[in-house]
Amino acid sequence: MNYKVGEVYNGFKLLEERYIKEISSSQKLFLHEKSGAKLLALQNDDDNKVFSASFRTPAGNNMGIPHIIEHTVLCGSRKFKTKEPFVDLLKCSLNTFLNAITYPDKTVYPVASCNEKDLMNLMDVYLDAVFYPGIYEHPEFFLQEGWHYELDEKSDELTINGVVYNEMKGALSNPDGLLERHSMKSLFPNTTYQYESGGDPDYIPELTHENFLDFHRKYYHPSNCYLYLYGNGDLDKQMAFINDEYLSHFDKKEIESSIEFQKPLSKMQEVSIDFSSDELKNNAYIALNYAVGNALDAENHIAFSMLQNILIDSQASPLKKAILSSGIAKVVDGYFSTSMLQPYFSIFIKNADENSKDKFTKLVHDTLTELVKNGIDEKLKEAAVNRKEFELREADFSGYPKGLIYNLTVLESWIYDGSPTLHLEYEKALENIKSKYKGSYFEDLIEKYILKNTHSSLLTLVPKKGVSEAKAEQLNKKLANIKANLSDEDIKQIKENMDVLKKRQTEDDSPEAIATIPSLKIEDVDPKIKHVDVKEIEASGIKILLNEATTNKISYVNFMFDTTTVPLELIPYTGILKYLLGKINTKNYSYEDLSNIIGINTGGIYADSEVTAVKDSADEFKAGIVIRGKSLAEKQSLLIDYIKEIVNNTIFTDKNRILELVRNLKSNIENVIYSRGNSIAAQRTLSYFSAKSKYTDMTAGIGFYLFLSSIEKDFDNQFTVLEQNLEKIYKTIFTKDNLLINVVTEKESFSSLNNNISDFILSLGNCDKCSKTAIAAEKLNEGFTFPSEVQYVAKGSNFISKGFKNTGALKVAKTIINYEYLWVKVRMQGGAYGCGISSSIDGSMWISSYRDPRLKETIAAYNDLPDYIENLNLSDEEISRYIIGTISPLDTPLTPSMRGDFTLGCYLSGITEEDIQKERTEILHTGSKEIKALAPLFKSVFSDNNVCVLGNRAKINENKDVFSEVKTLID
C-alpha cells in the first residue's frame, strides 16, 4: 500500500515517511487524530514482528506505583477474564517475547511473534490490559501484586506479602542495585529520577488502592501512549484493528507527563549510604557520577559508549590500571546510562576502604587530567571506535528480537519529544566521530563532562553489620504496633482480603473465562522443524562443523578444547584459566596491546566454558573451553592469528595482573548470586547427583566461588602454585587431540578461512595423556546465607537414572507445571517473584524459586507436585494450549552466532535432526493420558531430598532442620 504524508489511514494521520538505511526499514510516523496516540511503524522483511504500547510514567514517590501497575494490568481486563491473562498467553502463544518493563520514567509493554495471527492476539490482550484493566473492579489484583497484610489467627504476627514487594526486597539487597539507585538520586534530586520507580519496600506499604488507581487514570490514556509496530506485518490491518477496537473510543486530552530536567548542580554532591555486610574492612563501594548532556544528543550517546570502553571496559584502560595499581580498591567498573532524559556516566570501585573516597576522586581527576594533557593512546581510541561500529552494524542482540531492541532504542529519544529514530540513524554521528577521534575528540569529552562538570556526585556505600536485621526488627516492631491498634473490624477486613485473594488464586477459571483468551490452534503450528544445514568436514585431521549462512560478511569461529582430561584436583583452575585468556600477556603482546589489536581488527575474542549433557545418559557429559571470535571476512586471517597467539603463547607470570582478574571474576560471580541466585542454587542442587553439574559447580558455581575466594584471600602464598597449575592445564588443554571447530560464515568466505584454520591446527601440539577424569557427585543438602531479604529455593534429582525417559510429553508437562501449578502456588500464593521447573537431556530435573519470601512452604509445594500431576484432569483441548506454549521457545529465530551455538550443542550432546523432529511430533500429539502417565517420574524426582537454598541468614537458620549444613556464602 502506498502511503502519503498528510493523509489519514484508519484514524492515523501520516506525519512523516522515510527510509532508515541503518536498519533497512521504512519509517512511518503517525498521530491518531481522535485519541492523540502516537504510532511509529518500522516496516521491513523481518518475520519476527514486534508491537508495544509505552507510557510516560514519572513515579513521583518511592511506593512503586508504575511497577505495581505494570504487574496488575496484566492480571485481567474488560475482554480477558481469566485470573492471569499474561500467563495464559505464555501457555498458548508462539511469542518470541512477552513481558513488560518498568523504567525510571516510562513503562513499556512489548510483545513479539513470527506469526501474524499470534501477534494480533497479543496486541489485543495488551491493549485491553493497558486501557481497560480489571484493577478498578478487582482490588485483589493490587493486594496480590503490590502488597497486603497477612494474619491467619489473631494470635499470629502481622506480616506483609506481595509480588512486587518481595521482588524489590531482593533487588535492593544487591549493593549494585543500591549504587545505581542512589547515583540517580544524587544527580537528579529535583526530578522523578530521585525515586525508585520499582518501589522501595520501606514505602510500598504506604500505597493506597485509590492512589494506585489515580495513577492509572492519569497516565494510561492514548494521549500519553507511544505505539510501535515492527516487521513484515500487514500495517493497514494492524492500524485498523487498533483504531476500531481501542483508540476510536477515546478523545484526545491534555496529560501532564513531561519529565522534568534537572538544572545543573553547582557543586559535586557527596552522599553516604549504609548497606548490610558482615565484612567491614575494605568492602565499601565508591562511585563518581557525572550528568552527560541530554537524551537527544545522538553523537554523545555513541561517543560515551566508546569512552566507557576506553576508560572502563578495555583491558588497556589507563584509568582502570591506575586505580588498581594504587591499591585503593580490588574492582573497578562503570557504565553509561541512557534510558533517561539526562544520561549519566558512572565510574565506581568495589572492595575499597570507605575512607578512600578522596584518594579515589583525586586519582580519577589526576589520571584523566594527564590523559587530556598528553592524549589517549591512539590504538586504544581506534579499538573503541571499531568495537562500537562492529556492534552497530552486526545488530546481534543475544537472542532478543531485533525489533524489540530497536523499540527500546526508539524510546530513548521519542519519549522525550525527539525524533523516534534519532538513535537508530547512527551513520552521521558515527562518521562524525570517526573523522575527529584521532585528534582531541575524546579528551575534550573528558574535560567537558568529567573534569569541569560540577553536575556530579560522589557516592559511598558503607558496609555495616546488621543492616538487614535492624530493618527486619524495625519492620516487626512497626507491624506489632499496627496490629496492637487494629480494631476487630480491621482484623476482619484483613482476613476478608486474604480470603478474597485466596479464592481468586485457587479457583479454576471457568470455561467461559478461558474462552476469552485468544489462542492459536495446533494447525497453526508447523509440524516440521526448521532445517539447519551443517556440514561435517575436516582440516588437518580435525573436525569442523561448517554452517554456511548469510552473515553480513562476518565470520564466526568457535574453537572448543576438551577439558575432561584435566586431573580432578586441577579442574577448578580451568574456571580461572578461561577468564584469564586474552586478558594477560602473551609471548608477543602485552595484554594492553593484545586488547587493542583485537578491538581494531575484529568484533571480539573471548573464552567461555561449554559443559553439555549427552542425550539419554545420566553420567556422561562433554566439557571444554571455547575460544569464540568474530570478524569481517576480510580480516579473518588476523582473527585466527590472535586466537593462535592466545592458545599457544599466553604467559602466567604477571602476579599483579592475575590478582586483578581473580578479584574481578569473584565480583562477577557475586553479582550473579545477587541477581540470579535461583540459577546458582539450582546448579548446586544438581551437583549433589550429577557428575556434569559437579564439574560445572567446580568451575563456575558455588564450589568455584569458594575456591576462588580462598585463593584471593591468601594470594601471595598461593600464587606460585596457581601459576604452576595454570601452566600445567594450559599445556594439557590446548592440543590438537582436544580440538573441535565450529564455523558460521558465508560460502564465499570459507575457502580462505579454511586455510587460516589449517595453519592454526598445525601450530598446536599433541596431548601426552588424554584419559578422561572421573568425577563423582556428592550428596549434600545446604543452606547458604548472604545479605538478602529473600530466598532462592532449589530442589531436584535425575529421572533417567531411575529408568524414565525424555519425551515430548514431558516438555508439555513442564509448561503446565510452570504456568498452572508453580505460578499459582509459589508466585500468586507465596509471593515469590518467580519459580520454574526445568530439565536436561541427561535426565536432570529441578525447580527453583526467585526472590522468594518463604522457604519450607516452597519446598512443600515442590513435594506436592507429583500429586498435582496424578490428579490433573485436563481435556485434550486444554492441553493443546500448553502444546502451543511448549513449541514457542523451540521456534525462536536464530542469529548467525546463535546458529553456531545450536549446532555445536547438538553435536556435543549427540542430538540429531531426527531426534528434534521426533520430540516435536511427540509434543504435538500429547494428550491427557501422556501427561498423567508422567506422575511416577515426578514422584521419583521429588521424593529425593536434594535441596539447596540461598538467602537470608535468619530465615535459613530458622529452618536449619532442612539442611545437613548451613554455610556463609557472602559476609
Within a domain: 332: yes
CB 417 within 8 A of CB 226: no
Please tell me whether residues 284 and 247 are part of one structural domain.
no
Instruction: Note the maximum CA span of the chain.
Output: 83
pLDDT in tens, 955-970: 999 999 999 999 999 9
pLDDT for residue 767: 80
Q: Say which DSSP state 247 is in.
A: G
Please tell me whether residues 306 and 366 are part of one structural domain.
yes
**CB-based burial label for 434 (10 Å; 0-12, 13-18, 19+):** middle
How many angstroms separate the CA atoms of 171 and 66, rounded?
Answer: 16
CB 234 within 8 A of CB 206: no
pLDDT for residue 218: 98
Please tell me whether residues 323 and 422 are part of one structural domain.
yes
Please tell me whether residues 928 and 845 are part of one structural domain.
yes
> Residue 261 in 3-state DSSP?
coil
Please tell me whether residues 796 and 922 are part of one structural domain.
yes
Provide the number of structural domains found in the chain: 4
pTM of the model: 0.95
Share of the chain above pLDDT 70, in %: 100
How many angstroms separate the CA atoms of 145 and 816, rounded?
Answer: 22
What are the backbone angles phi and psi of residue 943, rounded to the nearest 5°? -80, -20
pLDDT for residue 154: 79
Strands (E), 293-408: 331-337, 344-352
- pLDDT higher than threshold 90 for residue 770: no
- pLDDT higher than threshold 90 for residue 354: yes
pLDDT for residue 892: 92
Query: Which residues are registered as beta bridge partners of 227?
Result: 39, 53
Those residues with Cβ within 8 angstroms of residue 820's Cβ, 6 or more apart along the chain or in another chain: none
Mutual angle of helices 65-72 and 209-219, in 10-degree steps: 80
Opening angle at CA 431, ends 425 and 434, nearest 5: 140
Within a domain: 524: no
What is the identity of the amino acid at 435? Answer: S
pLDDT for residue 222: 99
pLDDT for residue 240: 98
Q: What CA–CA distances, in Å, run from 115 to 45, 127, 615?
A: 13, 18, 31
Structural domain that includes position 577: 534-677+691-763
Please tell me whether residues 209 and 336 are part of one structural domain.
no
Those residues with Cβ within 8 angstroms of residue 879's Cβ, 6 or more apart along the chain or in another chain: 812, 816, 926, 927, 928, 931
How many angstroms separate the CA atoms of 765 and 758, rounded?
Answer: 13
Q: Does residue 70 carry a catalytic annotation?
A: yes
* Higher pLDDT pick, 766 / 422: 422
- pLDDT higher than threshold 80 for residue 779: yes
- pLDDT higher than threshold 80 for residue 716: yes
Within a domain: 503: no
**CB-based burial label for 239 (10 Å; 0-12, 13-18, 19+):** buried
Please tell me whether residues 915 and 792 are part of one structural domain.
yes
- pLDDT higher than threshold 80 for residue 546: yes
Catalytic-labelled residue, pool 84, 140, 145, 660: 145
- Residue 723's CATH number: 3.30.830.10
CB 788 within 8 A of CB 843: no
Domain termination residue (choose one: 426, 449, 464): 464
Nearest to 181 by CA among 194, 192, 168, 191: 194
Q: What is the mean pLDDT of residues 589-599?
A: 98
Those residues with Cβ within 8 angstroms of residue 18's Cβ, 6 or more apart along the chain or in another chain: 26, 27
pLDDT for residue 152: 84
- pLDDT higher than threshold 90 for residue 558: yes
Opening angle at CA 155, ends 152 and 157, nearest 5: 70
Share of the chain above pLDDT 90, in %: 95
Please tell me whether residues 391 and 297 are part of one structural domain.
yes
Q: How many other CB atoms are there within 10 angstroms of residue 108's CB atom?
A: 22
Please tell me whether residues 78 and 157 are part of one structural domain.
yes
What is the identity of the amino acid at 911? Answer: I
Within a domain: 196: yes
CB 301 within 8 A of CB 371: no
Please tell me whether residues 81 and 219 are part of one structural domain.
yes
Please tell me whether residues 550 and 447 are part of one structural domain.
no
pLDDT in tens, 141-182: 999 999 999 998 878 899 999 999 999 999 999 999 999 999
> Residue 434 in 3-state DSSP?
helix
Within a domain: 343: yes
The residue written with cell numbers 491467619 in the block is: 152
pLDDT for residue 771: 84
Within a domain: 142: yes
Those residues with Cβ within 8 angstroms of residue 649's Cβ, 6 or more apart along the chain or in another chain: 586, 587, 588
Strands (E), 179-301: 225-231, 269-276, 284-291
Please tell me whether residues 252 and 289 are part of one structural domain.
no
Nearest to 747 by CA among 548, 537, 547, 545: 548
In this prediction, residue 426 has a pLDDT band, given cuts at 50, 70 and 90, of very high
Query: Which residues are registered as beta bridge partners of 802?
Result: none
How many angstroms separate the CA atoms of 417 and 422, rounded?
Answer: 11
In this prediction, residue 768 has a pLDDT band, given cuts at 50, 70 and 90, of confident
Within a domain: 231: yes
CB 836 within 8 A of CB 862: no
- pLDDT higher than threshold 80 for residue 417: yes
Within a domain: 45: yes
pLDDT for residue 82: 93
pLDDT in tens, 209-252: 999 999 999 999 999 999 999 999 999 999 999 999 999 999 99
Over the chain, what is the mean pLDDT? Answer: 96
pLDDT for residue 409: 98
pLDDT in tens, 70-104: 999 999 999 999 999 999 999 999 999 999 999 99
Q: How many other CB atoms are there within 10 angstroms of residue 468's CB atom?
A: 20
CB 14 within 8 A of CB 30: yes
What is the identity of the amino acid at 470? Answer: A
Catalytic-labelled residue, pool 70, 140, 354, 782: 70
pLDDT for residue 203: 98
